[in-house]
Each structure stands twice: as structure tokens, then as C-alpha cells.
């Protein structure tokens, strides 16, 4: 994986496979504390303690039964290589929360990447899931800016209209790109 947002897409796929109804994805670039944290929280089937331990092992992948695969160890490695780490909090039947942190200024930290495309891909592909996407930037002075998207209102308006109708797609893509770019701008200043 070349971008943190690709890892987010991958981890979110696990949440979908775990029959989640609600999935929340957060990315927070904190320049004041020099941290980049990402988090995927779901209300899917979760894992028991033993499985939760096993999914951290890259060699745990029994394709027919796997809930997670190689994705979590890859993200864990990426986080640890840039002065951060990964935590997995889960309980059988009670969803899962995967959080990864990176030192923002670390030379080995991969770029956050195209977060808007990750969000769009998930929203369009799994319309039956309730998605919440949060992107937050805290600048060096400690001031926070946030892009917060909850799909409830959008889906109410769309009713049964498909999100892959060209005009709708253009609208949603524009909303994500503009909202995220406006904040990403803060990180380079």
C-alpha cells in the first residue's frame, strides 16, 4: 500500500465483511502534537480475544474463514515504521475499532493520500451501510478544522436514486474533494 487512505479502504472492507450496519472512519492530522491518527469503528460481528490476537499476525489468513486477512499487519507495520502503532479493540458480537497512529513528520510516514476517493469508493459501493467520515486537521497553533460527513441526510434526499447516476456522482465527489482539500491545505502552511 502506498497511501494511508488505501489502508483505510482495506480496513473498512473488513468492517463491511463483518456485517456492520454503521461504520465510522476518522483521520486526524495533528501538527501541534506531530501525530497522524486514523481510526475505523464498526458495529459488526467483532472478534473474540483469540482471533483479535491472531489477526495481528501476517501469516494468519485462512481464506475461507478469514474476517481480516493481511490488511491489519500491513497497517501495523506501516505505523510502527513511522514511530506509531496500532491498537485493535474488539469483542465478539460488539464490533471492532482499529486505530493506527503515525508520527506526522516521520520520514517513513506514507502520505495520507486520496482520502476523498477512499470515502467515495466506500459510499458508492455499499449504499446499505450508514457511513460517517471525519477528517480533522489541527494546525501548529492548536486550532482545529473538521470535515464531517454523515450520509443520513444525503440518503434521505436521494431516496432510491442511485449514487452512480452521473450527476449525483459528480455532486458527491465534488463535496468530498472540496471539503477535504480545503483542510489539507492547512497542513502545508
**Positions in the binding site for other proteins (CB under 8 A):** 1, 6, 9-10, 13, 17, 63, 69-71, 74, 114, 117-118, 120-121, 124-126, 146-149, 153-154, 157-159, 161-162, 164-171, 173, 175, 179
- Rounded Cα distance, 131 and 152, in Å: 8
- Closest approach, Cβ 34 to other proteins, in A, equals 26
Q: Which is nearer to other proteins, 86 or 104 (CB)?
A: 86
Q: Which is nearer to other proteins, 59 or 166 (CB)?
A: 166
- Rounded Cα distance, 125 and 184, in Å: 25
- Closest approach, Cβ 105 to other proteins, in A, equals 26
Residue spans of beta strands (DSSP E) within the chain:
22-30, 35-42, 85-90, 96-103, 130-138, 144-150
Q: Which is nearer to other proteins, 32 or 125 (CB)?
A: 125
Q: Which is nearer to other proteins, 41 or 118 (CB)?
A: 118
- Closest approach, Cβ 58 to other proteins, in A, equals 11
- Closest approach, Cβ 54 to other proteins, in A, equals 16
Burial of residue 166, with CB atoms counted within 10 A of its CB: 0-12 exposed, 13-18 middle, 19 or more buried: exposed
Beta bridge partners of 129: none
Please work out, in degrees rounded to the nearest 5, the angle formed at the alpha carbon of residue 69 by the alpha carbons of 115 and 108. 50
Q: Which is nearer to other proteins, 79 or 104 (CB)?
A: 79
- Rounded Cα distance, 101 and 127, in Å: 29
- The DSSP code for 109 is P
- Closest approach, Cβ 29 to other proteins, in A, equals 17
Amino acid at each position: 500500500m502506498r497511501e494511508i487512505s488505501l489502508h483505510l479502504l482495506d480496513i473498512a472492507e473488513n468492517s463491511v465483511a463483518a456485517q456492520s450496519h454503521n461504520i465510522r472512519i476518522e483521520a486526524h492530522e495533528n501538527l501541534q502534537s506531530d501525530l497522524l491518527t486514523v481510526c475505523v469503528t464498526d458495529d459488526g460481528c467483532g472478534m473474540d480475544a483469540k482471533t483479535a490476537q491472531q489477526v495481528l499476525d501476517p501469516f494468519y489468513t485462512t481464506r475461507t474463514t478469514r474476517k481480516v486477512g493481511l490488511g491489519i499487519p500491513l497497517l501495523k507495520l506501516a505505523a510502527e515504521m513511522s514511530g506509531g502503532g496500532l491498537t485493535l479493540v474488539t469483542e465478539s458480537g460488539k464490533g471492532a475499532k482499529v486505530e493506527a497512529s503515525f508520527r506526522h513528520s516521520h520520514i517513513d510516514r506514507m502520505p495520507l493520500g486520496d482520502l476523498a476517493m477512499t470515502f467515495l469508493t466506500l459510499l458508492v459501493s455499499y449504499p446499505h451501510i450508514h457511513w460517517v467520515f471525519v477528517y480533522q486537521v489541527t494546525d501548529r497553533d492548536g486550532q482545529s478544522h473538521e470535515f464531517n460527513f454523515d450520509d443520513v441526510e444525503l440518503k434521505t434526499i436521494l431516496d432510491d436514486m442511485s449514487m452512480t447516476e452521473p450527476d449525483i456522482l459528480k455532486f458527491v465527489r465534488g463535496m468530498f474533494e472540496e471539503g477535504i482539500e480545503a483542510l489539507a491545505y492547512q497542513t502545508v502552511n
